[in-house]
Amino acid sequence: MGGEIMNCDTHNTESQGCNFIRETVTKIDKIQKEVICDSAGRCIACEASLFTSANNTIPVRFTCCCGTPFEALIGVTGATTSFFRIESIRCNRYVTLRLLEPTGGDPALTGTDYTVILDLDCVGTIQCFEPISVEVCTTSTTE
Protein backbone atom coordinates (compact mmCIF):
# COMPACT_ATOMS: atom_id res chain seq x y z
CA MET A 1 0.00 0.00 0.00
CA GLY A 2 1.45 3.34 -1.06
CA GLY A 3 4.67 1.84 -2.41
CA GLU A 4 3.39 -0.34 -5.24
CA ILE A 5 5.25 0.20 -8.49
CA MET A 6 3.08 0.13 -11.58
CA ASN A 7 4.62 -1.15 -14.79
CA CYS A 8 3.31 -2.10 -18.22
CA ASP A 9 2.25 -5.54 -16.95
CA THR A 10 0.43 -4.25 -13.84
CA HIS A 11 -3.29 -3.51 -13.97
CA ASN A 12 -5.40 -1.77 -11.35
CA THR A 13 -8.37 -4.05 -10.60
CA GLU A 14 -10.27 -1.22 -8.88
CA SER A 15 -11.03 0.43 -12.23
CA GLN A 16 -11.72 -2.68 -14.36
CA GLY A 17 -15.20 -1.49 -15.36
CA CYS A 18 -14.21 2.10 -16.15
CA ASN A 19 -11.54 3.36 -18.52
CA PHE A 20 -11.70 7.15 -18.47
CA ILE A 21 -8.88 7.47 -21.03
CA ARG A 22 -10.78 5.25 -23.47
CA GLU A 23 -13.96 7.27 -22.87
CA THR A 24 -12.05 10.52 -23.49
CA VAL A 25 -10.50 9.22 -26.73
CA THR A 26 -13.92 8.05 -27.93
CA LYS A 27 -15.47 11.45 -27.13
CA ILE A 28 -12.71 13.35 -28.97
CA ASP A 29 -13.09 11.03 -31.99
CA LYS A 30 -16.86 11.64 -32.02
CA ILE A 31 -16.51 15.42 -31.70
CA GLN A 32 -13.95 15.60 -34.51
CA LYS A 33 -16.20 13.54 -36.79
CA GLU A 34 -19.16 15.84 -36.06
CA VAL A 35 -17.30 18.73 -37.64
CA ILE A 36 -18.74 19.05 -41.12
CA CYS A 37 -17.95 21.49 -43.92
CA ASP A 38 -20.74 23.44 -45.52
CA SER A 39 -20.77 24.43 -49.20
CA ALA A 40 -18.73 27.58 -48.52
CA GLY A 41 -15.93 25.47 -47.06
CA ARG A 42 -16.48 26.69 -43.51
CA CYS A 43 -16.63 24.07 -40.77
CA ILE A 44 -19.63 23.73 -38.49
CA ALA A 45 -19.50 21.80 -35.21
CA CYS A 46 -21.98 20.76 -32.56
CA GLU A 47 -19.45 21.57 -29.85
CA ALA A 48 -18.93 25.30 -30.46
CA SER A 49 -16.99 25.63 -27.21
CA LEU A 50 -14.33 23.24 -28.52
CA PHE A 51 -14.18 24.23 -32.17
CA THR A 52 -14.27 27.47 -34.12
CA SER A 53 -15.04 27.61 -37.82
CA ALA A 54 -11.39 26.82 -38.52
CA ASN A 55 -10.57 24.08 -35.97
CA ASN A 56 -11.20 20.37 -36.50
CA THR A 57 -8.58 18.64 -34.32
CA ILE A 58 -7.86 18.26 -30.62
CA PRO A 59 -4.13 17.41 -30.44
CA VAL A 60 -3.32 14.78 -27.81
CA ARG A 61 -0.26 13.24 -26.13
CA PHE A 62 -0.18 9.88 -24.37
CA THR A 63 1.97 8.37 -21.64
CA CYS A 64 2.26 4.59 -21.38
CA CYS A 65 1.28 2.81 -18.15
CA CYS A 66 4.98 2.45 -17.34
CA GLY A 67 5.41 6.25 -17.44
CA THR A 68 7.17 6.53 -20.80
CA PRO A 69 5.85 9.17 -23.23
CA PHE A 70 4.36 7.53 -26.33
CA GLU A 71 6.24 8.60 -29.47
CA ALA A 72 6.18 7.54 -33.12
CA LEU A 73 8.61 7.91 -36.01
CA ILE A 74 7.76 10.49 -38.66
CA GLY A 75 8.70 8.45 -41.72
CA VAL A 76 12.19 6.96 -41.88
CA THR A 77 14.15 10.13 -41.09
CA GLY A 78 14.52 9.29 -37.40
CA ALA A 79 12.47 12.31 -36.30
CA THR A 80 9.77 11.51 -33.73
CA THR A 81 6.64 13.15 -32.40
CA SER A 82 4.48 12.73 -29.35
CA PHE A 83 1.56 14.79 -30.73
CA PHE A 84 -1.35 13.05 -32.46
CA ARG A 85 -4.80 13.49 -34.00
CA ILE A 86 -7.33 10.75 -33.19
CA GLU A 87 -8.50 9.27 -36.51
CA SER A 88 -10.53 6.19 -35.51
CA ILE A 89 -11.12 3.59 -32.81
CA ARG A 90 -11.46 -0.17 -33.35
CA CYS A 91 -12.77 -2.83 -30.99
CA ASN A 92 -13.17 -0.11 -28.34
CA ARG A 93 -9.45 -0.61 -27.65
CA TYR A 94 -7.18 0.29 -30.57
CA VAL A 95 -6.91 3.89 -31.72
CA THR A 96 -5.48 4.98 -35.06
CA LEU A 97 -3.53 8.20 -34.55
CA ARG A 98 -2.31 10.62 -37.20
CA LEU A 99 1.11 12.00 -36.39
CA LEU A 100 1.27 15.76 -35.87
CA GLU A 101 4.65 17.32 -36.50
CA PRO A 102 5.85 20.28 -34.40
CA THR A 103 6.81 23.14 -36.74
CA GLY A 104 8.32 25.67 -34.37
CA GLY A 105 6.15 28.32 -36.01
CA ASP A 106 2.53 29.18 -36.53
CA PRO A 107 0.75 26.82 -36.68
CA ALA A 108 2.73 24.99 -34.02
CA LEU A 109 1.63 21.56 -35.30
CA THR A 110 0.95 20.28 -38.79
CA GLY A 111 -0.63 17.01 -39.91
CA THR A 112 1.51 14.34 -41.58
CA ASP A 113 0.57 11.43 -43.85
CA TYR A 114 1.74 8.94 -41.20
CA THR A 115 -0.42 7.01 -38.73
CA VAL A 116 0.21 4.64 -35.84
CA ILE A 117 -2.10 2.31 -33.92
CA LEU A 118 -2.05 2.47 -30.11
CA ASP A 119 -3.50 -0.10 -27.69
CA LEU A 120 -5.48 1.94 -25.17
CA ASP A 121 -4.96 -0.78 -22.54
CA CYS A 122 -1.30 0.36 -22.44
CA VAL A 123 -2.09 4.05 -21.87
CA GLY A 124 -1.56 5.63 -18.46
CA THR A 125 -2.33 9.29 -19.25
CA ILE A 126 -3.75 11.48 -22.00
CA GLN A 127 -3.09 15.20 -22.36
CA CYS A 128 -5.29 17.34 -24.59
CA PHE A 129 -4.30 20.64 -26.19
CA GLU A 130 -6.11 23.62 -27.67
CA PRO A 131 -8.03 22.74 -30.87
CA ILE A 132 -6.26 23.41 -34.17
CA SER A 133 -6.99 23.07 -37.86
CA VAL A 134 -5.43 20.10 -39.63
CA GLU A 135 -6.06 19.01 -43.20
CA VAL A 136 -8.17 15.87 -42.85
CA CYS A 137 -7.17 12.79 -44.85
CA THR A 138 -9.71 11.72 -47.43
CA THR A 139 -8.54 8.10 -47.33
CA SER A 140 -10.38 6.08 -44.69
CA THR A 141 -8.34 4.81 -41.75
CA THR A 142 -11.13 2.53 -40.54
CA GLU A 143 -11.28 0.00 -43.38
pTM of the model: 0.71
Question: What burial letters (b/e) apply to 39-71, b meaning 16+ CB within 10 Å?
Answer: eeeebebeeeebbebebbbbbbbbbbbeeeebe
Write down the domain spans for the chain: 19-128
Terminal Cα distance for the chain, rounded: 45
pLDDT digits (tens, 9 = 90+) for 20-68: 889 899 988 888 887 644 434 454 433 444 555 568 899 999 999 999 9
pLDDT digits (tens, 9 = 90+) for 79-127: 999 999 999 999 999 999 999 999 887 778 999 999 999 999 999 999 9
